[in-house]
Amino acid sequence: MSKFVIETPKIVAVPVSGSDALFPVRRIYCIGRNYAAHSVEMGGDPNRETPFFFQKNPDNLDASGEFPYPAHSTNVHHEIEMAVALKSGGSNIPLDQALEHVYGYAVSLDMTRRDLQDRAKKQGRPWEISKAFERSAPIGLIHPASETGYLSEGRIELKVNGEVRQEGDLNQMIWKVPEMISYLSEYFELAAGDVILSGTPSGVGAVKVGDRMEASVEGISSKVVTVI
Ligand code: MN
């Protein structure tokens, strides 16, 4: 076997609940505007339009519990989302087989440089600079679906410094978890290690250094993340 010419990049991994094992990450897909109330607050349509996705970098996931306020933005927003971790994948996955590919669920945050995103939207440019920056996806423990079942309903909530900022129910998702998996697999070849962030309820807003975010999804571990 050939040697690598440089040191191999580190495998990004997320801790699994009730175990000292880790979930290795391959890709991150994020869906936009998947809760009607959030779609409206972002100036969009609350109806079931064709879903759209963007990607973060795998190493943007961060289980440390700290979020460093990023450079070149003065308006960084929290977006609480449920993360769906896949244990297998494929192309053109039928809707009724989609859940068979889910390894588990975690609470996560899709941190966003909103000012840079607004500028990118106006200019018709890509979103990476606003979405796929360092440590932009804080994440909690992954809970195996074999223990939780399919998390199709339950409260999703984000508190900042003890005050509720975002709240909703997983059953308010416009595109459900199996639909997201099936749809994505028509455009990408999904595989073990892929993580899907499933959209945020309304109430997104700015954070500042020192804020304590507490993200929770009913039935799995919550995650406290401090802005540093
Ligand atoms: Mn989001």
What are the tens digits of pLDDT across the range 15-38?
999 999 999 999 999 999 899 887
**Any domain includes 25:** yes
C-alpha of residue 7 to centroid of ligand 1, in Å:
33
Q: How far is the CA of 62 from the centre of ligand 1 (A)?
A: 16
Ligand 1: centre distance to CA 5 (Å):
37
Q: Which residues pair with 35 in a beta bridge?
A: 173
Band of the pLDDT at 1, cuts 50, 70, 90?
Answer: confident
Asked whether residue 175 is assigned to any structural domain, the reply reads yes
Q: Strands 53-56 and 28-31, how do they pair?
A: antiparallel
**CA–centroid distance, residue 106 to ligand 1 (Å):** 15
Interval 212-225 mean pLDDT: 97
Distance 31 CA to ligand 1 centre (A): 6
Over residues 103-129, mean pLDDT: 97
Q: Mean of the per-residue pLDDT values for the chain? A: 96
* Å from CA of 204 to ligand 1 middle: 9
Identify whether the C-beta of residue 89 lies closer than 8 Å to the C-beta of residue 192.
yes
Residue 199 Cα to ligand 1 midpoint, Å, equals 5
Report the pLDDT value the prediction gives residue 121, as an integer from 0 to 100: 95
Ligand 1: distance of its center to the CA of 82 in Å? 10
State yes or no: pLDDT of 64 exceeds 90. Answer: yes
- Using DSSP, state whether 195 is helix, strand or coil: strand
Residue 95 pLDDT class (50, 70, 90 cuts): very high
Decide if 6 is inside a domain.
Answer: no
| Residue of 206, 16, 225, 211 whose CA lies nearest to 109 | 225
Q: What is the whole-number distance in angstroms between the Cα of residue 48 and the centre of ligand 1?
A: 17
* 59 belongs to a structural domain: yes
Task: Report the CATH number at residue 42.
Answer: 3.90.850.10
53 part of a folded domain? yes
Contact 111, 197 (CB under 8 A): no
Tokens of 63: 């289980």
Confidence label for 162 from pLDDT (cuts 50, 70 and 90): very high
Ligand 1 centroid to 163 CA: how many Å? 20
Residue 110 Cα, ligand 1 centroid: separation in angstroms? 5
Inside any domain, residue 122? yes
| Number of separate domains in the chain | 1
Q: Report the C-alpha gap between 63 and 140 in whole angstroms.
A: 6
Q: Distance of CA 119 to CAs 112, 113, 129, Å?
A: 13, 10, 10
Distance (angstroms) between ligand 1 centre and the Cα of 76 equals: 12
Question: Is residue 7 domain-resident?
Answer: no
Q: Let me know if residue 93 belongs to a domain.
A: yes
Round to whole Å and give the CA distance between 94 and 141: 28
> What average pLDDT does range 197-212 have in this prediction?
97
Q: Which domain holds residue 127?
A: 13-227
Token pair for 5: 């010419």
Query: Which residues neighbour ligand 1 (ion) by CB within 5 Å?
Result: 79, 110, 200
Residue 33 CA to ligand 1 centre (angstroms): 7
Q: What is the mean pLDDT of residues 43-53?
A: 83
Can you tell me the mean pLDDT for 148-166?
98
Q: What is the pTM of this model?
A: 0.96
Report the amino acid identity of residue 37.
A
Give 206's strand partners.
77
